[in-house]
Amino acid sequence: MTLTEAPPKVPARQPVRPPKKRLRHALTVAVFLLPSAVPLLLFTLIPMAGSLWTSLHEWDLITPMKWVGLDNYAGLLAGEETRAAFGHTLYFIAGYLPLVYAGGLGLAMLLNRAMKGRDIFRAIYFLPVVTSWVVVALLWKWLLNPASGIVNWAIGLVGLEGPGWWTDPDWAMPSIILASAWKDLGFVMIILLAGLQAIPKEYLEAARVDGANAWQRFRRVTLPLLSPSTFFVVVISLINGFQVFDQVHVMTGGGPAGATQVVVEQVYNLTFKYGRAGEASALSWLLFAVVLVVTLIQVRGQRRWVNYG
Amino acid sequence: MAGSARVAAATLITALLATACSQGSATRTTEPAEGGKVTLRYFTFSAAPDHVKDLDTIVAAFEKENPTVDVQVETAPYDQYFTKLQTSLAGQTAPDTFELNYENFVTYAGAGSLLDLGTAGGDTDTSGYATESLNAFKHDGKQYALPASFSTVVLLYNKDLFEKAGVPLPTADWTWADEQAAAEKLTDKGAKVYGDFQPVTFFEFYKALKQAGGEFMSGGKSTFDSPQGVKAAKWLVDKVGKTMPTEAEIGGTADFDTNLFKSGKLAMWHNGIWQFAGLKDVPFQWDVVVEPGDSQKASAVFHNSVAASATTKHPREAYAWAKFLSSSNVAATTRIASSWELPPVSDQAVLQGYLKDPVPANRQAVFDSLDNIALPPVIARQQEMQDAVTQELTEAAAGRKSVEEALTEAASKVDALLG
């Protein structure tokens, strides 16, 4: 299909250096890597090792740790709390992912065409992404306040009675999903917008000439060629979805009646409210394992549906 | 230009980091004090926001008597207090002295985080304390904390609303049935006036259970999953949406009940005597009675104490401060004069001073409520038990479970915590 020839492959030049120069080269590389390697070591790798160590102990934060081997993991795997926490997390993802993807795609399509004030709209939709989660969560808590929020006021105008939102165990998770999708919409939009712009216009033009209608062009040309961006969005959103915490902690604190008790909220409560830091660390590692497996499955599965043009 | 911008940015970031680090006072280390003075940190939840000045009065009196000690007060709201305390103990930046309530005392004493105050000061005079208060803070025969204050829960009521509705005022003989009948008459949903307010929580439940003649646990097993338990839970749950606002109507507003009562739209309020100071200037008449019971009377009593960290570098000073704050004359009279809970002193003459304040008129009810007290059940995994019971009751209040199901579920969770 492509008209331009790929540039001839030139073997990379391997400069042959004397040992002294090689050492200098290695040192230079090390110096440049240091600024990112040191924080990574200090704030990610060492704490991770510490958390693995903690997960093999019983620890209430006050008394010395007690070695329990794999008991924490066994207890969690058998426990009903763990199942409930993963269940709530999956509920969140099931609502959040389709909503944020469909919304982001819609926005990206809208803002991909020539229109007045396009850049301003793009910036506006991106604003929530760079806003602190605490601010956004408080804002939504306020908007969705069952007694005095603007959403229920608007629902009241058409003669209906709004739900209890985050005060109602059945509506609390939908409230959090709504706030989360709203905040992350701009991020998904930007990624998909970049993907849309990389689709050569000629393809769509050719499809049009062949008699494909708008839906067929979207379904058969745009979506398949957008699949690398979609793949990226799905991987990132799934990881973020499994780690959902800030909005839950601020909006409901896992309540009401435990209806939004997601995994990371559970980790927080176990550590800081209940003094069960060992089990909390073990739960973090279980979450890590789940995210790793899910991501690996996606990476393997992508060959089936991701099209790199 | 670019260079100076970079310097400015770096300065800003450093400044931000410095501010970030200096936040979270509970996890700060003590700076060396000047001139051989000892800095003693004290962490409290009961002083802020209404009684910071009263605590300052006590601190000033203590520092005058002990010129080499500088007491630094740090406060946190109750719902964040124990997270901060626990984290600072784990990070070995615990305050020298801190407040502990009766429910959490066992957890900390059992964990070995507390200094034995019985031996720390080389002084064993405890004659100033009421004996039962002192005993509440003993663990394994050691005095790990000194009782500093206690408070009880009573029924506060808005006299004006009662008179306007022509409902007879509550008396000490009232039962649940009387309260319920009055609450129904006093509730006027159109005017957003509610008859009653009693949160659906662990703390209200264990007390209501005792009022209904039930027991929370016995022989290391929960026993609240009983006919009395069902009665107590229904007493709480059935008010929601009838004589009391629902969760949706409360909308997570902080101090909703306090503001509702203060604005004259709440007739009866189950709350503690620590609310008295904040109700000084309300534009209506109000009074208190001992809480109505069902088959018997039972009033909640909360005890707070002062403890010292086992790792404090100044055990003698910590003891001196704990003793002063809990039993000195200045502390006792300051607490009484400002209605900041009650001092656990043995001197009845000091306590009688509490009755001098004319509002509320029936202050005697506070002392009467001590005749039949309901102490909270305490276990090592206290917070989890409280949360489990509250969560199940909330589900029942939201109509997702029957009261019976919720109690069965709560009982099995509590039994699991009892191990």
List domains and CATH numbers for chain A: 53-305 (1.10.3720.10)
Q: What is the pLDDT of residue A64?
A: 85
Q: How far is CA A34 from the centre of its chain?
A: 28
Partner-chain residue, chosen from B86, B251, B394, that has the shortest CB–CB distance to A272: B86
Q: How many CA atoms lie within 13 A of B159 on its CB side?
A: 13
Place of tokens 């799934």: A238
Rg (CA), chain A: 25
Residues in chain A: 309
Tokens of A137: 């969560």
CATH C-level class of B152-301+367-418: alpha beta
The correct answer on CATH 3.40.190.10 for the domain covering B24-150+302-355 is: yes
Place of tokens 């290391």: B220
In contact, A251 and A137? CB cutoff 8 Å = yes
pLDDT digits (tens, 9 = 90+) for A214-265: 999 999 999 999 999 999 999 999 999 999 999 999 999 898 888 999 999 9
Q: A–B: how many Cβ contacts below 8 A?
A: 72
- Position with higher pLDDT, A1 vs B419: B419
pLDDT digits (tens, 9 = 90+) for B133-174: 888 899 998 999 999 998 999 999 999 999 999 999 999 999
The answer to whether the CB atoms of A62 and B247 lie below 8 A apart is no
Place of tokens 């704490």: A47
Q: Which of B179, B371, B212 is nearest to B295 (CA)?
A: B212
Q: Does the pLDDT of residue A147 top 60, yes or no?
A: yes
B contacts of A145 (beta carbons < 8 Å): 251-252
B166 dihedral zone (left: phi>0; alpha: psi -120 to 50; beta): left
The interface residues of chain A toward chain B in range 109-168, judged by CB-CB distance below 8 A, are 141, 145-149, 164-168
DSSP for residue A65: P
The answer to whether the CB atoms of A62 and B90 lie below 8 A apart is yes
Does this chain's domain B24-150+302-355 share its CATH topology with B152-301+367-418?
A: yes
**A255 in B contact zone (CB under 8 Å):** yes
The answer to whether the CB atoms of B391 and A257 lie below 8 A apart is yes
Domains in chain B: boundaries:
24-150+302-355, 152-301+367-418
Q: Does the pLDDT of residue A210 top 60, yes or no?
A: yes
Q: Which of B294, B290, B246 is nearest to B268 (CA)?
A: B290
Q: How many CA atoms lie within 13 A of B90 on its CB side?
A: 15
**B108 in A contact zone (CB under 8 Å):** yes
A contacts of B89 (beta carbons < 8 Å): 61-62
Average pLDDT of span A6-17? 57
Q: What is the pLDDT of residue A209?
A: 93
DSSP for residue B224: -
The interface residues of chain B toward chain A in range 17-36, judged by CB-CB distance below 8 A, are none
- Position with higher pLDDT, A171 vs B18: A171
Number of C-beta neighbours around residue A90 at 10 A: 15
In contact, A58 and B104? CB cutoff 8 Å = no
**A78 in B contact zone (CB under 8 Å):** no
ipTM: 0.79
Mean pLDDT, chain A, whole residue set: 90
Q: What is the pLDDT of residue B265?
A: 95
β pairing state of B217-218 and B194-197: unpaired
Q: How far is A261 from chain B (nearest CA, A)?
A: 12
Q: What whole-number distance in Å separates Cα of residue B162 and Cα of residue B155?
A: 14
What single string gives the DSSP state of each residue in B119-185? HHTS----TTB-HHHHHHTEETTEE-EEEEEEEEEEEEEEHHHHHHHTPPPP-TT-BHHHHHHHHHH
- Position with higher pLDDT, A279 vs A60: A279
Place of tokens 């709004």: A162
pLDDT digits (tens, 9 = 90+) for A16-58: 667 788 899 999 999 999 999 999 999 999 999 999 999 999 9
Q: How far is A84 from chain B (nearest CA, A)?
A: 14
B contacts of A60 (beta carbons < 8 Å): 111
Q: How far is A61 from chain B (nearest CA, A)?
A: 5
The answer to whether the CB atoms of A275 and B107 lie below 8 A apart is yes
The answer to whether the CB atoms of B251 and A148 lie below 8 A apart is yes
Q: What is the pLDDT of residue B34?
A: 53
Q: How far is A111 from chain B (nearest CA, A)?
A: 35
pLDDT digits (tens, 9 = 90+) for A98-143: 999 999 999 999 999 888 888 899 999 999 999 999 999 999 999 9
B354's CB contacts (< 8 A; 6+ apart) are B336, B339, B342, B363, B366, B367
Q: What is the pLDDT of residue A88?
A: 97
A contacts of B400 (beta carbons < 8 Å): 169-170, 257
What single string gives the DSSP state of each residue in A116-178? TTHHHHHHHHHGGGGS-HHHHHHHHHHHT-TTT-HHHHHHHHTT-----GGGSTTTHHHHHHH
Q: What is the pLDDT of residue A8?
A: 53
What single string gives the DSSP state of each residue in A282-303? HHHHHHHHHHHHHHHHHHHHHH
Q: What is the pLDDT of residue B340?
A: 86
Q: Select from A54, A59, A61, A62 the residue whose CB has the most chain B CBs within 10 Å, as the one to mutate to test that interface.
A: A62
B contacts of A147 (beta carbons < 8 Å): 248-251, 253
Rounded percentage of chain A residues whose pLDDT exceeds 70: 94
Q: What is the pLDDT of residue B381?
A: 86
B281 φ/ψ angles, rounded to the nearest 5 degrees: -105, 20
Residue ranges of chain B with per-residue pLDDT less than 50: 1-33
The answer to whether the CB atoms of A62 and B112 lie below 8 A apart is yes
Q: What whole-number distance in Å separates Cα of residue B251 and Cα of residue B235?
A: 22
**B87 in A contact zone (CB under 8 Å):** yes
A contacts of B307 (beta carbons < 8 Å): none
To 10 degrees, the CA torsion angle through A146, A148, A154, A156? 70
Alpha carbon distances (Å) from A256 to A92, A133, A167, A251, B248: 15, 20, 6, 10, 11
Residue A309 pLDDT class (50, 70, 90 cuts): low
